[in-house]
Amino acid sequence: MTITTSPATREHWLELIAKRKQRQRCADDVEAIKRACSTTCASKQVAECKDCYPKVIERIRARYCGSPEQEWFTERKAFLHKLDGLLSDAKEQRAGLKLIDEILESEKEAWYRWVLRTYPEFFAVAPRSIDTKELRTMLDDPDRSLEEVVATVWRGLDQPANWAADVDAFIAKVDAANGDAAALKQLHVSQFFSHEAAGEAYETERQYRQDYLAGPTSSLDSIMDKIIADYQNGKKSQPQRIEFQNQLDAVRRAKVAHEQKMRDRNNKRNQPPPVNERLYDLPPCYVCKSAVDPKDVFSCTICQAERQMGADRPLTAYCSERCFHRGHVGHSEKAHDCEAGDQCAQLRDQDTAMGDNGSDHPVACRECLGKYKITLFCNDHCAGENLKQHKQDKHGVNGGLESLQGHTQALQEVLDTVLVKGNPGLQFKPVDEA
């Protein structure tokens, strides 16, 4: 089953901009009628003036029943028909404006509940999980107050401290763009796909940002659909991913063994040669963002090797062993997963045991190594099935691939060559990841 977002592609913040403008214009016009009435008519209140009060009612009618903008009530035809009748009654003094205000607020609450029903899957991928079944029950229960519904939504979305001011600032920028599609797209990228300070996309969002920027017809709705679909597919493949975790553990154990080997080698040297200066450019801790002591660094050796080879990428470092244990497993899964992805041999063929067909150690694409990137396959068997497609997609190389010889290199050999032989001044300490 495919879950899609609302069929209406108009962003709700555009409706908010239209609402504020039209509401202000209506308020200004009504105030002008009141001022004119106070100076030209004998009535003390505009509600008592048989000439001016109908003008106020007609201006309110034009605000809702004749709005030129797309607003929250535009498609709610039954409500507008009911409102039109109430305004006619108010014009004849058969209904009061207080009743009309109450009906407007009630309909606005119904619209808000409808908006939340339109995006039920969004909360499943929100930063903090909430009970979506409970939320659906609340949305359908008129006895549950709107304040209670909103509080539940904020729990799921992890309410930002300055959300109201941030929304105002964002819609001001949208309004200033004046409908320029290119400017709006860049604004959306900076707002929804970037770190607040650095302006760079989060690692997990880069592909979505690329898809959004791919063409003028791509929309935020289509990206939301893709996020939802990816989330659902991820849940379906969870059992296979648990099995695949065993291979990732093997990669980490190989890394720890490699670090121990390099430490033993470097301890034998009384005056080790200097370390490549690129490796001194330490970023903040990957987990807690605090400064990393260059004399005691916990790092990802694959990122370190790519940096040593000349890649324009930052190191991944940790300030302590505690932060290493908290963050390195997740980093390895995101940054150094098997290149085959869902086509990984271990996911597709659960009957194939590790080591049944070639080495059970990770291997890297040699052509990617020449471009300062370590692209991994979990073992020879997986590389044999997927390397051909990788070379076509990433290197434009077509044709048969009779064997892996000359096309892959064991990860351990890559790390030994780059970090040990190419940079013997490094000293490593093993980290127990058990």
Indicate the average pLDDT of the chain.
82
The sheet with strand 376-377 has its strands ordered as 376-377, 363-365, 408-410
Q: Please tell me the predicted confidence (pLDDT) of residue 397.
A: 85
Cα gap 314→151, rounded to integer Å: 40
Report helix, strand or coil for 160: coil
pLDDT higher than threshold 80 for residue 391: yes
| pLDDT exceeds 70 at position 433 | no
Model confidence at 107: pLDDT above 50: yes
Model confidence band, residue 167 (pLDDT cutoffs 50, 70, 90) = confident
Looking at residues 183-192, what average pLDDT do you find?
86
Which two tokens mark 150? 């909103």
pTM above 0.75, yes or no: no
Region 369-396 average pLDDT: 91
Range name among 110-119, 344-353, 368-377 with the lowest pLDDT average: 344-353
- The predicted pLDDT at position 271 comes to 53
Contacts of 52-56 with C-beta under 8 Å, sequence gap 24+, read 53/91, 54/91, 56/30
Are 315 and 282 within 8 A, CB to CB?
A: yes
User: Which two structure tokens, joined as six digits, stand for 366?
Assistant: 């040699």
pLDDT band at 67 (very low <50, low <70, confident <90, very high): confident
CB proximity list for 251: less than 8 A, separation 6 or greater: 332, 336, 362, 376, 378, 411
Tokens at 140, concatenated: 């359908």
Instruction: Report d(CA 342, CA 346) in Å as an integer.
Output: 9
Q: How far is CA 203 from CA 194, 331, 343, in A?
A: 10, 10, 21
> CA torsion angle for 62, 68, 74, 80 (degrees, to 10)?
20
Contact 188, 178 (CB under 8 A): no
Choice among 51-55, 166-170, 207-211 with the minimum mean pLDDT = 207-211
Least confident of 96-100, 347-351, 389-393: 347-351
Residue 423 scores a pLDDT above 70: no
- Given a cut of 80, whether residue 2 has pLDDT beyond it is no
DSSP bridge pairs for 365: 408
Pick from 135-149, 239-253, 330-344, 359-373: least confident: 239-253
Chain centre distance of CA 104: 35
Q: Is the per-residue pLDDT at 75 higher than 50?
A: yes
Residue 232, CB-side half-sphere exposure with 13 Å CA sphere: 14
pLDDT at 314: 87
pLDDT score of 426:
65
Cα–Cα dist 377/384, whole Å: 9
Q: Has residue 15 got a pLDDT over 60?
A: yes
Degrees, nearest 5: CA angle 102-107-108: 95
Most confident range (mean pLDDT) of 47-56, 149-158, 352-361 is: 47-56
Q: Which among 36, 86, 78, 37 has a CA at the least distance from the CA of 61?
A: 86
Overall average pLDDT of the 406-410 stretch: 91
